Structure 1
Amino acid sequence: MGIADRWGLRAWLRAPGSLSKRLAATGLRFEVQVLRQTTAPLRPQERAALGLPRRGLTLVREVILRVDGRPLVWARSAVHGHAVAGPWKALKGLGSRPLGHLLYDDPRIHRSELQPRRVTRHGATHRQMQRQWLAATDTEAPALMQWSRNSVFTRHGQQLRVMEMFVPDVALRDPGPLRRKSRPRR
């Protein structure tokens, strides 16, 4: 992981449980800024992670997670359209509440292993994040904001993919104890 280790991001990239809860514990005020929630095409990594065909409607939710007003994480979740009518229907009414409220309150939801990944600087995901970051914060995204973690949540056989990209400065915050659990915790 090289650079991620140097910044101390490894603990954040591998921290189990709710990222929202961990971030909230590092400050006084935690906020979810919804950038967009809409139907959109799946990206190749999302299709592969969810095991879906090339076609179909997908609900995408993109947010910035802030602590004490400071933007620390850009996140994108994607779920196939037919799952939004079924086990993931609560996603449509989530608004500015953290996705963790949905994921960690239901013991029937299981999470895959976290997959830390460096995001391609010129790929569609990085470009999307940069555009939205600038529009939401009036500042450029940090040049070294390249590390993400990806995981897939499964409920009743239907999957939701979550990708979270970290500002390098998040490494200065303590993510709390790292506990391994077989299912998501709150």
Structure 2
Amino acid sequence: MPHAALAHPPRWLTASQLHPQPAAVVRDWLFNEDSLTRRLTALSHDGFSVTPLLEGWQRLRTDECAALGVPDGSQGWVREVYLRGHGQPWVFARSVAARSALEGSGLALDQLGSRSLGELLFSDRAFDRGLLQACRYPAAWLPAAVHGERLWARRSCFSRGALGVLVAEVFLPAFWSAADIEI
């Protein structure tokens, strides 16, 4: 299901650009550079799992093309999953890579299944992580089951040579509740 174009796409901002600043505990989750998979595994006391929702070739969104440095309208591999704690969707994640860079790169995004992409990216030292950015994620881009307004999201691009993998993670209300954080 392609994502609708928005009249006002989100403005992805670095920690220093974000005003007003969210509470320190929220900022810690948005801008912490450690593996989110590992942090969620610890928070859930090993009750972490990944549920794939959608995988395949699609036309990438304009903001994704800009972040990956590819022409607007480029095709890419799109993977959408829930990162779950004890079966509850805690984070909605959308990862994309441009077809032009992915093909021939040796990275088999289509083979991940219910494994975490984050673990793969963090275990391959050839990948460099770009700056973390955050925004209030558009409700129209979320699955209907977790549709919510003004949810915090973060994204960063992992690069290895010409290949860029853009990973966006949207923190769902059940996550903040499990982390005992009021937002």
Partner residue, 1:83: 101
Deviation at 1:155, TM superposition (A): 0.7
2:40 aligned with 1:23: yes
Q: Structure 1 vs Structure 2: percent identity of aligned residues?
A: 36
3-state secondary structure, aligned to 2:113: coil
Superposition pairs of residues 110-125 of structure 1, within 5 angstroms:
110-120=128-138
Deviation at 1:88, TM superposition (A): 5.4
Q: Where does structure 1 lack aligned partners over 5 or more consecutive residues? A: 121-125, 135-140, 175-186
3-state secondary structure, aligned to 2:154: strand
Q: Alpha-carbon deviations, 1:67-119, whole Å to 9, x = none?
A: 11111100101101122223252212111100012101111100001001112
Matched residue count = 161
8 Å contact 2:132–2:156 — kept in the other structure? yes
Distance 1:96 1:145, change over 3 A: farther
Deviation at 1:18, TM superposition (A): 1.1
Distance in 2 of aligned mates of 1:77 and 1:142? 18
Distance in 2 of aligned mates of 1:144 and 1:56? 28
3-state secondary structure, aligned to 1:89: coil
- Tell me: higher relative CO, structure 1 or 2? Use CA pairs within 8 A at least 6 residues apart: 1
Could you list the structure 1 runs, at least 4 aligned residues long, displaced by more than 6 angstroms after superposition: none
Partner residue, 2:27: 10
Superposition pairs of residues 24-173 of structure 1, within 5 angstroms:
24-27=41-44, 28-87=46-105, 89-120=107-138, 126-131=139-144, 134=145, 141=146, 143-144=148-149, 146-171=151-176, 173=179
Name the amino acid aligned to 2:162. Answer: G
Q: Where does structure 2 lack aligned partners over 5 or more consecutive residues? A: 1-18
- Normalised by the length of structure 1, the TM-score is 0.78
Distance in 2 of aligned mates of 1:79 and 1:4? 29
CA RMSD of aligned residues (A): 2.3
Distance in 2 of aligned mates of 1:4 and 1:71? 22
